[in-house]
Amino acid sequence: MNNSKQTNQHLELKEAPSTKNLHLLDVNLLLKAIFSLALSIFLFSCGSKQVETNEEQAFIAELLGKMTLEEKIGQLHQITSQWNMTGPAPEYAQGHEEKLKSGLVGSMLNVIGAEATLNAQKLVVENSRLGIPLIFGYDVIHGYRTMFPVPLGEASSWDPETVKLSASIAALESAAAGLHWTFAPMMDVGRDARWGRVMEGAGEDPYLASLLSAARVRGFQGESLADEKTIAACAKHFAGYAFAESGKDYNNVDISNATLHNVILPPFKASTEAGAATYMNSFNTIQGLPASANEYIQRQLLKGDWGFDGFVVSDWNSIGEMVAHGAAADLKEAAKLAIQAGSDMDMEGNAYTNFLAELVEEGTVDIKIIDDAVRRVLTIKYRLGLFEDPYKYSNKEWEKNTLYSLGNKSAARKVARESIVLLKNEGKKLPINESIKSIAVIGPLADDKDAPLGNWRADAVANSAVSVLEGVKARAGNNVTINYAKGCDLVTSERSFAGEVQFNTTDRSGFAAAVAAAKKSEIVLLAIGEDCYQSGEGRSQADIGLKGLQMELFDAIYAVNPNIVIVLMNGRPLAIPELDAKAPAILETWFLGSEAGNAIADVLFGDHNPSGKLPMTFPRSNGQIPIYYNHMNTGRPGPKNEVFWSHYTDQTNAPLYPFGFGLSYTDFEYTNLTVDSSNPASIQVSVSLKNTGSVTGTEVVQLYIRDKIASLVRPVKELKGFQKVTLKSGESKDLTFVLTEKELGFYDNDGKYKVEDGEFEVMVGTNSADLLNATFLLNTATVQ
């Protein structure tokens, strides 16, 4: 890609016959050269980073000084595309076109493709007075054209480098398609599997979510936003979105300060420290205010205490929705509340473009607040290099050679393998024995090439995923007979992002063929779970069990061939106690993306030994929700042989599968847990791990702590470290963890971090339930 050639074209296009029509960008290079020369002696002894920072600030200050109030507000206005931008605007979209030409729009979303983004950018740069380029955003959640596992699935890898790899390729493809900015990662810590958007996050634990969210940010943004192969990340949703009451999307949130600071905010803080360029606020109320009007979290905490210097964008019309919340009388008041609270850019709300100028002119909103918001937006555009070359991302040849490449698909297969969790393997049904010569592949999702792409699939091509059937056939070869039968449909409605999912509850016409296939096969692979649009935004469910006729199909097959391996596809934890009770083997595959079938076959046949661990608890029933491992003890924790303790009378308190759970084709033994607390500033925790099985395997060794007595009640256990270790059969390894004040403290109700002396329990093991434990006393007075 020849940036210098494109830049020259840009400058030529902006030449005008009259100097009064010159755009500011025509003289940017000259201004920057003069400024750089004037400061060169003064800044000579400073590092290059300081020089760049001063150049950035001076450039933006100069540009800001040239802008009218209307142009400033335009930079805070984001609109969605109303036409594909590859041709002239239709009549209904001409109002949008005029705003773009007038420089009254700062950002667009849903404009994708090198050609479309190039045309849209030219519309603004070549027609508006100052030629300030647009920033193009899009929901690139788990891949752009090449799909990776949904984020909850990727979190099962417990591997920041795997997550970073996925994000970096998503960024590469997005940038090649002309995009600058993704509305990801979502780092809402989620405890309620009914909430459909758990598929976009990293699960229920703030420690794991912090590490993986920061890795996503680094993957999207690389070493520099100026690199044309990276895009700006967006930390969302700020804050508390996943704590929506009853798991209903967009519902209200009512939480304690302790939960806010210790559970919800840590992944956001970690993402800020990783350099997240932007933030998105959330739809919900928090502390009695809609998040977009919450000055404490946006202006005081994020932009103040944390030093965040990027910009905050609203979620889709979340500013306008303040009126429905009852927090604002009308859109004008909503605009005032949002801008004062620190919401910099209005996504599709039209609150800012309609009312900010009026609010400033009447003295209700200080112009300094507007300038701060605009400065933040311009800063990210500057760091992306858009002022030097607004067209740097829009190269059709680069797009053609990058999207869905063999290398990208190979990476997708690798990440997908790492995301699979083995939940059950009675009688070692897996891996499939090489002596088996007939396999039944059955189920509504078995030959589905679309469901594995998942929800929020960006620009994926429909029906482009490798299906389970295709992956199994390719791996099994010609010497194994594959008997396929669908069995039944999961849904009856046509699959679409916007449509409601309608489940099949009556058509059993395919059962007979499925039973026949099972009868003549040695082993059955049954692919069931969720439709891809069953989870995601707006897809909350009161019942997270298997829908439609799937359990009935399972029972029919089980009756003739109980040698069944369940291939479970889903975007959230499912309540499947009946399935767990009968099926000898269950493989959790989530929605794995473009290479799903190949990755699943890799695990089924033992070419890859699964090492995934659950990032979210699986409940036994809907009635247990929300259920999570790091809960507080009550005054009556039990268990007791009486009625009056905290429990259900019709079900155990224990989950079906706990947080951190995941089996392997080999076995691991934990021994010799020791704690050295002689140096309170660096507590040493050691444990021995041995592979006692017959094959090489990878184990995620997990460390949890409990602060037993504290000024605020602490959870029964909290994840504070993990190591991913690969051992050959019979091999042992001694592992050491270090606990410092970073792991041993917590935030009080005022958001202040503290470490308190006292007794701690430390636990190490294979999941959050099966652990070795020891105790130590912390006495910080002895720290030198």
Same domain, yes or no, for 681 and 763?
yes
Helix residue spans in 305-448 (DSSP H):
322-325, 331-341, 351-361, 367-383, 396-402, 406-418
- Name the residues annotated as catalytic: 315
Question: 475: Cβ–Cβ under 8 A, 6 or more apart, which residues?
Answer: 598, 601, 602, 604, 605, 607
- Residues spanned by the domain of 18: 1-138+367-396
- What is the pLDDT at residue 37? 39
Same domain, yes or no, for 570 and 690?
no
- What is the pLDDT at residue 25? 42
- What is the pLDDT at residue 497? 78
Q: What is the pLDDT of residues 658-701, one digit of tens each?
A: 999 999 999 999 999 999 999 999 999 999 999 999 999 999 99
- Tell me the two tokens of residue 742: 């970073």
Report yes or no on 197 lying in a domain: no
- What is the pLDDT at residue 493? 81
User: Is residue 40's pLDDT more than 60?
Assistant: no
Find, among 105, 104, 112, the residue nearest to 83 by Cα. 112
Name the β-bridge partners of 698. Answer: 726
Q: What is the pLDDT of residues 98-149, one digit of tens each?
A: 999 999 999 999 999 999 999 999 999 999 999 999 999 999 999 999 999 9
Report yes or no on 462 lying in a domain: yes
Same domain, yes or no, for 473 and 607?
yes
Report yes or no on 235 lying in a domain: no
| Least confident range of 14-18, 171-175, 609-613 | 14-18
Same domain, yes or no, for 611 and 687?
no
Using alpha carbons, list the distances in angstroms from residue 550 to 409, 502, 526, 555. 31, 14, 10, 9
- What is the pLDDT at residue 88? 80
User: Is residue 4's pLDDT more than 50?
Assistant: no
Confidence label for 94 from pLDDT (cuts 50, 70 and 90): confident
Q: Are strands 732-739 and 683-691 parallel, antiparallel or unpaired?
A: antiparallel
Report yes or no on 689 lying in a domain: yes
| DSSP characters over 759-778 | EEEEEEESSSSSEEEEEEEE
CA separation for the pair 688, 766 (Å, rounded):
12
Confidence label for 50 from pLDDT (cuts 50, 70 and 90): low
Q: What is the CA radius of gyration of the chain?
A: 28
User: Is residue 31's pLDDT more than 60?
Assistant: no
Provide the 3-class DSSP secondary structure of residue 267: helix
Domain end, chosen from 596, 624, 652, is at 624
Q: At what angle do helices 331-341 and 351-361 cross, to 10 degrees?
A: 80
CA separation for the pair 77, 79 (Å, rounded):
7
The DSSP code for 619 is P
Report yes or no on 33 lying in a domain: yes
Query: Mean pLDDT across the chain, nearest whole number?
Result: 93
For the domain that residue 756 is a member of, what is the CATH number?
2.60.40.10
The pLDDT of 164-191, averaged and rounded, is: 98
User: Is residue 648's pLDDT more than 80?
Assistant: yes
The pLDDT of 719-742, averaged and rounded, is: 98
Domain end, chosen from 559, 593, 624, is at 624
Domains: count for the chain: 3
- What is the pLDDT at residue 640? 78
- What is the pLDDT at residue 52? 64
CA separation for the pair 371, 139 (Å, rounded):
27
User: Is residue 599's pLDDT more than 70?
Assistant: yes
Same domain, yes or no, for 617 and 680?
no
Same domain, yes or no, for 730 and 774?
yes
Domain end, chosen from 605, 624, 643, is at 624
Report yes or no on 303 lying in a domain: no
- Tell me the two tokens of residue 539: 């897809």
Same domain, yes or no, for 681 and 592?
no
Residues 71 and 129 sit within 8 Å (Cβ to Cβ): yes
- What is the pLDDT at residue 272? 98
Same domain, yes or no, for 426 and 536?
yes
Report yes or no on 542 lying in a domain: yes
Confidence label for 83 from pLDDT (cuts 50, 70 and 90): confident
Confidence label for 784 from pLDDT (cuts 50, 70 and 90): low
- What is the pLDDT at residue 84? 82
Residues 389 and 112 sit within 8 Å (Cβ to Cβ): no
Helices (runs of H) and strands (runs of E) counted in the chain: 24, 25
Tell me phi and psi for residue 695, to 5 degrees. -130, 160
Question: Residue 278, by phi and psi: left (phi above 0), alpha (psi -120 to 50) or beta?
Answer: beta
User: Is residue 450's pLDDT more than 50?
Assistant: yes
User: Is residue 80's pLDDT more than 70?
Assistant: yes
Q: At what angle do helices 160-176 and 406-418 cross, to 10 degrees?
A: 150
Same domain, yes or no, for 545 and 492?
yes
The pLDDT of 71-88, averaged and rounded, is: 90
Residues 430 and 665 sit within 8 Å (Cβ to Cβ): yes
Name the β-bridge partners of 706. Answer: 761
- What is the pLDDT at residue 462? 96
Tell me phi and psi for residue 445, to 5 degrees. -105, 5
Same domain, yes or no, for 608 and 682?
no
Of all helices (H) and strands (E), which one includes residue 687?
A: strand 683-691
CA separation for the pair 226, 260 (Å, rounded):
34
Same domain, yes or no, for 593 and 689?
no
Residues 265 and 257 sit within 8 Å (Cβ to Cβ): no
User: Is residue 258's pLDDT more than 80?
Assistant: yes
For the domain that residue 607 is a member of, what is the CATH number?
3.40.50.1700
- pTM comes to 0.93
Same domain, yes or no, for 389 and 424?
no
| DSSP characters over 445-513 | TTT-SSGGG-SS-TTPPTT-SPPHHHHHHHHH-TTSEEEEE----SB-SPP-SSSPP-B--S--TTHHH
User: Is residue 587's pLDDT more than 70?
Assistant: yes
User: Is residue 270's pLDDT more than 80?
Assistant: yes
- What is the pLDDT at residue 19? 32
Report yes or no on 129 lying in a domain: yes
CA separation for the pair 23, 101 (Å, rounded):
13
The pLDDT of 166-189, averaged and rounded, is: 98
